[in-house]
A and B are shown apart, each in its own frame.
Chain A
Amino acid sequence: MNYPIIAAGFLAIASTAVAQEKPVLTVMTYDSFVSEWGPGPAIEKAFEKVCICDLKFVAAGDGAALLARLRLEGVRTEADVVLGLDTNLTTAAAATGLFGLHGRDEAAFDLPVTWDDPMFLPYDWGYFAFVYDKTKLADVPKDFAELAASDLKIVIQDPRSSTPGLGLLLWVEAAYGDKAPEIWAGLADNVLTVTKGWSEAYGLFLEGEADMALSYTTSPAYHLIAEEDDSKVAAAFTEGHYLQIEVAAKIASSDQQELADQFLDFMISDKFQGIIPTTNWMYPANTPSGGLPKGFETLITPETALIYPANEAVEARDRALKTWLDALSQ
């Protein structure tokens, strides 16, 4: 009576044997990308349909953990493509010498800024923003100064362990420059607490522990589209909002250069880009021909996009971290 199980076992072995004949493209990315609720599974299916290959994901924490892992692995990495770094990390990533040029200098993107990095290609982007519940908060601050003057409580992420946390530091630094320490001094009593990662902060906010949480302007889209809840809104700040652009690049030493190229083309194509908005909850780098999903039109669009060029981000980062630590360690 065990025959069907044994037969199924053989079938499984046989099908892996067939799969192994196909070339394997290994894409290293961050953990939430590959989860069942992220873009990974749909992207794997769609790409395998066109590539006659086996797309394999390898995952590591978040963008910064990804880069650390890559540095540990060095040239022996099995990754062919790395997807999920952001512009704050690309300078350090380029300095490892592991990445090759993408050769798609003509590609145009729907980004708030022009893109001319020869090594890294963007696949999605978003603005950092404070998200609040409009049924609970009426007096919404319009900039950091108003937020600092208010008695609202915010939850933010630690820049040392979280990408959005670092984004906030660079946001204040880019908007205020020399005045950033004053802004942080004013914000210190508004910071309810600092969490290790985005999930903890957003979770605390949803539990009603804080009035606002640092997240993205696209966060309300999740509640609207997936939960039909329009109470969550991102506060528009007049200084502008800091941009996060997520990018991918080829590993120069990969033996799957052609497949990697094919993947990068696929990444900026309609199919991939159409999956991004409702799985990664970010803006696609190329608006797909069908447009953005219904609900995205309700999101705020900042008038000014703030971002440090990749080569200035490292210096700004160290300066901003010092400012932040000084202000909040009082």
Chain B
Amino acid sequence: MARRAQPIGLWPGIVAAVLVLGLTFGTLGAVAWRAEDVSRLGPADWAAIRFTLTQALLSATISVALAIPLARALARRQFAGRSILVTLLGAPFILPVIVAVLGLLAVFGRNGLVSTVLGWVGLEPVQIYGLHGVVLAHVFFNLPLATRLLLQGWLSIPAERFRLAASLGFTPGDILRRLEVPMLRAMVPGAFLVIFLICTTSFAVALTLGGGPRATTVELAIYQAFRFEFDLSKAAQLAMIQFTIGGLAAALAFRLAIPSGIGVGLDRPRQVWGVSTGPLRVQDTAIITVASLFLIAPLSMIVLRGLPGLFDLPIQVIEATVRSAIVALCSAALTLLLAVPLAILINSSKGRRGAVVEAIGTLSIAASPLVVGTGLFILLFPLVNPVALALPITALVNAVMALPFALRAITPAHRQIEADFGRLAGSLGLTGWARLRLLILPRLRRPLGFAAGLSAALSMGDLGVIALFADPDAATLPLQLYRLMAAYRMQDAAAAALLLLICSLTLFWLFDHGGRLNADA
């Protein structure tokens, strides 16, 4: 392939890719290297792998299938509270597992709202525990994420296309075929992939709602290998299997994804024609109402529970909140520092090479948090005290964990910018930093805001790596929440959970809204 001068240097992207590889395969390698002998996977491990695949496939399929009509309804309707709803869509995904599970069970549990209402009319309580419970919880977590990702897709269709469609007398069916399906072909495989990957590393949700050891996932098997058997070889093998599953899924998704090539618009405000007819309106309203209820009911239970104790939380919880917020901001900044160069690298690499870089950027969600944490510990321990680095490591690991979502939002947007304006910018000699500052970053504002917000919110609620490195005197908010629960203080813990929800959402909103100013999304 002939080498052309790139308008923007690619080395920052290469550095970012190497860093991600280090945190994923590097930590895995460290764990494997520390293993004393090689062990073989038993039938229980294979059962865990089968269950993991089944529930992840179901969860991702249902989440994305439901997200398509929801995102479309949100894209073509304007209503009071829409912006709040779009922000709340970020909420379930960023909640600490234990908080979300308690919220879900307050609605769908044996003693939950739904069962209580059924009881009034003389029906049996809902039976939530089982594979369907696992899927329900994963849909609760990921439907909003899928919706947000697909909403980006809808908003990326230029307003002129819809206007043209309207002037040509397109029916909703024509719009679907000509405009929406091509966009979905480009967006859906990626959204499906990230959700599938998130679900493959599920552990506490799957176990609790799965109702017992039938719902053993690979991550739980890793946990068992690590703490029950201290079998690092098995832990490393299982983590490798997680990567393999992730890698195969990624290869498939990238094969199915077809760039939409929908062309450039003039950035006019969005306005949708021809959908104010009766049946469509009723359909959209119904979809939005049902989805909102499903997502907001558990959140409301978390709010109701936490409210009584919110204003007299112990000072240590407040301190932890400040600490977590700082970590979250660093994490958001790091995510962008990694994601933008990676997106540029992906879009500048021809053919398969771009897909490989994209796969590397997506790897981190297939990584076992336990293995990443343990690997980092093994790597750092001979050099420094890992505990002293607990907070910076939390920020970095979360930045990398948020990277796949950031790339999903940023890479297509950047590709579009280069496709639409690249030639013009090239003819103007706009290269390097100037091209980034004048052309790319301003036009990437919306996905950048989304990515930063997601990263900050995720990092605010993270309890993956910090649990292994915890510095007793520098606890984060999620860690304090667990400590409150471990000390029987469930009321304070509920209040801390609410505080966490508020902080995560505020951070998400600030960034996301910042990115959407003037963008009418």
Contacts and interface: CB of A to CB of B under 8 A. Distances in A.
A162 to B, nearest CB: 10
Interface of A: 31-32, 34-38, 40, 57-61, 64-65, 67-69, 71-73, 76, 78, 92, 153, 158-161, 191-196, 198-200, 202-204, 206-210, 219, 222-223, 226, 281, 321, 324-325, 328-329
Interface of B: 34, 44, 47, 98, 101-102, 105-106, 109-112, 129, 203-204, 207-214, 220, 223-224, 226-228, 230, 314, 316, 374, 377-378, 381-382, 385, 387, 467-468, 470, 472, 475, 479-480, 482-490, 493
28 contacts: A31-B472, A35-B472, A36-B316, A36-B483, A37-B487, A40-B472, A57-B472, A58-B472, A59-B470, A59-B472, A64-B227, A64-B228, A92-B230, A158-B213, A158-B220, A160-B227, A161-B224, A191-B212, A193-B210, A194-B207, A200-B98, A203-B493, A204-B109, A208-B111, A209-B112, A325-B44, A329-B47, A329-B212
Nearest to B488: A222
B129 A192 contact: yes
Contacts of A60: 468, 470
Given A72-B378, A153-B110, A200 B488 contact: no
A136 B509 CA distance: 43
Contacts, number: 147
A281 B210 CA distance: 30
Contact of A196 (B203, B316, B484): B203
Nearest to B31: A72
A210 to B, nearest CB: 8
B44 A209 contact: no
Contacts of B47: 329
A57 B314 CA distance: 21
A207 B102 contact: yes
Given A35-B486, A158-B213, A194-B211, A78 B204 contact: no
Contacts of A191: 211-212
Given A160-B224, A194-B213, A195-B207, A204 B105 contact: yes
A79 to B, nearest CB: 11
B220 A193 contact: no
A76 B384 CA distance: 12
Contacts of A158: 207, 213, 220
Contacts of B223: 160-161
A67 B211 CA distance: 28
A204 B47 CA distance: 27
A281 B488 CA distance: 9
Given A31-B470, A38-B487, A193-B210, 12 more contacts: A31-B483, A36-B314, A36-B316, A68-B227, A69-B377, A158-B207, A195-B207, A199-B486, A204-B109, A206-B490, A324-B213, A329-B213
Nearest to A322: B44
A306 B107 CA distance: 39
Contacts of B204: 195-196, 200
B381 A325 contact: no
Given A32-B483, A36-B314, A199-B98, A160 B472 contact: no
A193 B227 contact: no
Contacts of A61: 467-468
Contacts of A321: 228
A199 to B, nearest CB: 4
Contacts of B211: 191-194
A177 B468 CA distance: 36
A269 to B, nearest CB: 23
Contacts of A153: 110
A67 to B, nearest CB: 8
Interface centre among B227, B230, B493 (most CB of A within 10 A): B227
Contacts of A160: 220, 223-224, 227-228
Contact of A58 (B314, B387, B493): B387
A160 B316 CA distance: 31
Given A32-B483, A194-B207, A207 B109 contact: yes
Contacts of B220: 158, 160-161
Nearest to B215: A194
Contact of B110 (A32, A192, A281): A192
